[in-house]
């Protein structure tokens, strides 16, 4: 039985709607820990065999661990956050957080083409109330865009799924419709249906993943959501959507069409990085800045997977570290928002003086996300760039490096402004331990994983790469 991993948080989430908020907070922590325990059991214990719908796959296992680990830290932050910034309908907030965790775990474990779609669409629906929470006009607008754009986008992914099933022809009635199951037989499938299917899957799940030009909802949703929810959307949910894109690419690779799907991924990836660069340079809202940075990093991951080989290895490492560092940054942004009461960069300053520990986390996280050692993104971006050189895609690497420089230039200006520039005024709310510790732990985990990666994790990443036909040596 695999299903208990996501059923527990889903049931607890529903329970939360009916509990008083004090009890609900306990349930939230319990649900997070239970899922982390379930995820770790998959890593260290025996792996239960999957059924027709759910299976343990290396990429799913990786994402599940990242998601459940991040969730526990975000809950700690949430407890501190709720103390300083009460939320009017707390049971709904807590319940939707848990439902979100449950549906995300479901995505990580689902391998059936349509069940994966059901799970990803469910994540959109349960996370929408999280964005709507403050009931401001901006939040309403962001939620409407989020639900409409993502639902319409993901609807196209369903069509892509049906096309992929059509590619099988009528011969293989007994084959189960899981991505890994189909991959074994994919060589015999009709390539034109497969290609059509992939395009729709990429557009659909790419919308949810935030790839340009389907990213329009992302900066709004991620900046209007309360900060713990932003961390959840940016650090965890995007990775789940990535799984959809990845599995589609896996099927294409098995069918011998990796060149087609890979080059599409490279194009969408580069476009995302470029778009992010343009908007980061002239950004004056720090939460939107972080949201665009998520688009950039999802673009880098898509680029790396599209190139394959060493770059795909880099992309998987990038996924882990982006999740860790970006969540940390959004949590720090939450502290800043509580302190200054505004999201405008121009109205902030001297964070190092007023919230020194948040300032360290912010600057550290910024160094991490820009690719400085000792953070893991240094390593992953280096691997992706080397991998692309190995494959001889010089022009696309040039575009990538150029955009990364622009992004660094744009973001550093804002981060320095927040941390050190002049600001006269009174902090509304200071920092406290439960709102500091999670972002520090996230950054330290990123450093730790850069210095020493557990052998088991190394094996899993290798297994992910073998699935898309790559290895460390090209």
Partner 1 sequence: MTATVGVLLALVFLSVLFSLSSHRLLELIRMMALQGIFVSLVPFLMETHEGFALLNFVLLAVMVFIKGAAIPGLLWLAMRKIQIRREIEPIVSYHVSIFIGLAIILTSVFVSHRMETVALSAHPLLLPAAFTTLSAGLFLLMARRKALTQVIGYLMMENGIYLAGSALARQTHTQYLVEFGVLLDVLVGVMIMGIILHQINDSFDDADTTFLESLRD
Name the site residues for partner 1 (rule: CB under 8 A): 53, 112, 114-115, 117-118, 121-122, 124-125, 128-129, 132, 135, 137-138, 140-145, 147-148, 151-152, 155-156, 158-159, 161-162, 165-166, 168-170, 172-173, 177, 219-220, 224, 279, 282-283, 288
Cβ proximity to partner 1: between 33 and 166 the closer is: 166
Cβ proximity to partner 1: between 113 and 367 the closer is: 113
CB 197, min distance to partner 1, A:
11
Cβ proximity to partner 1: between 42 and 156 the closer is: 156
CB 88, min distance to partner 1, A:
13
Contact predicate 131/139, CB 8 Å: yes
Instruction: Give the angle 83-87-89 at the CA atoms, nearest 5°.
Output: 135
Contact predicate 31/9, CB 8 Å: yes
Cβ proximity to partner 1: between 144 and 389 the closer is: 144
What are the angstrom distances between the C-alpha of 197 and each of 4, 158, 210? 31, 9, 19
CB 418, min distance to partner 1, A:
19
CB 162, min distance to partner 1, A:
4
Rounded Cα–Cα distance for residues 112 and 101 (Å): 19
The dihedral through the CA atoms of 383, 212, 127, 116 has a sign that is negative
Short-list 309, 239, 292, CA closest to 67: 239
CB 386, min distance to partner 1, A:
33
What phi, psi does 349 have (nearest 5°)?
165, 165
Cβ proximity to partner 1: between 52 and 405 the closer is: 52
Residues 6+ apart with CB under 8 A from 100: 13, 123, 126, 127, 130, 232, 237
Rounded Cα–Cα distance for residues 238 and 222 (Å): 11
Cβ proximity to partner 1: between 138 and 458 the closer is: 138
Cβ proximity to partner 1: between 141 and 458 the closer is: 141
Rounded Cα–Cα distance for residues 249 and 254 (Å): 9
Contact predicate 164/194, CB 8 Å: yes
CB 129, min distance to partner 1, A:
8
């Amino acid at each position: 039985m695999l299903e208990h991993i996501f059923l527990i948080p889903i049931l607890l989430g529903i329970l939360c709607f009916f509990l008083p908020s004090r009890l609900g907070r306990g349930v939230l922590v319990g649900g997070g820990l239970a899922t982390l325990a379930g995820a770790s059991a998959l890593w260290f214990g025996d792996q239960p065999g999957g059924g027709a719908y759910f299976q343990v796959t290396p990429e799913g296992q990786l994402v599940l661990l990242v998601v459940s680990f991040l969730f526990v830290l975000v809950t700690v932050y949430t407890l501190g956050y709720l103390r300083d910034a009460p939320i009017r309908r707390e049971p709904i907030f807590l319940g939707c957080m848990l439902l979100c965790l449950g549906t995300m775990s479901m995505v990580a474990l689902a391998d059936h083409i349509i069940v994966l779609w059901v799970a990803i669409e469910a994540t959109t629906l349960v996370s929408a109330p999280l964005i709507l929470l403050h009931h401001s006009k901006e939040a309403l607008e962001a939620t409407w865009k989020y639900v409409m754009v993502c639902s319409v986008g993901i609807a196209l992914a369903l069509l892509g799924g049906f096309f992929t099933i059509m590619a099988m022809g009528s011969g293989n009635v007994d084959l189960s419709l899981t991505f890994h199951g189909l991959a074994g037989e994919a060589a015999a499938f009709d390539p034109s249906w497969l290609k059509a299917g992939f395009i729709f899957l990429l557009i659909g799940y790419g919308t949810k993943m935030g790839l340009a030009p389907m990213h329009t909802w992302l900066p709004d949703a991620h900046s209007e959501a309360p900060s713990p929810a932003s961390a959840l959307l940016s650090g965890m949910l995007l990775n789940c959507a990535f799984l959809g894109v990845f599995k589609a690419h896996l099927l294409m690779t098995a069918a011998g069409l990796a060149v087609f799907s890979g080059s599409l991924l490279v194009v969408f990836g580069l476009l995302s990085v470029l778009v992010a660069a343009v908007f980061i340079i002239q950004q004056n809202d720090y939460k939107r800045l972080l949201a665009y940075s998520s688009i950039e990093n999802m673009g880098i991951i898509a680029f790396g997977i599209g190139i394959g080989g060493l770059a795909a290895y880099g992309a998987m490492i990038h996924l882990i570290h982006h999740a860790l560092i970006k969540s940390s940054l959004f949590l720090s942004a939450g502290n800043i928002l509580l302190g200054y009461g505004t999201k405008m960069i121009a109205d902030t300053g001297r964070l190092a003086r007023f919230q020194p520990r948040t300032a360290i986390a912010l600057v550290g996280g910024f160094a991490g996300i820009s690719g400085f050692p000792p953070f893991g993104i240094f390593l992953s971006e280096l691997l992706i760039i080397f991998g692309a050189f190995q494959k001889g895609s010089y022009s696309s690497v040039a575009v990538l490096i150029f955009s990364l420089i622009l992004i660094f230039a744009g973001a550093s200006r804002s981060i320095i402004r927040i941390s050190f520039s002049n600001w006269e005024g009174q902090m509304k709310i200071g920092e406290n331990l439960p709102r500091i510790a999670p972002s520090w732990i996230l950054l330290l985990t990123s450093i730790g994983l850069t210095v020493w990666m557990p052998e088991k994790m190394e094996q899993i990443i290798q297994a992910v790469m073998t699935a898309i036909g790559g290895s460390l040596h090209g």
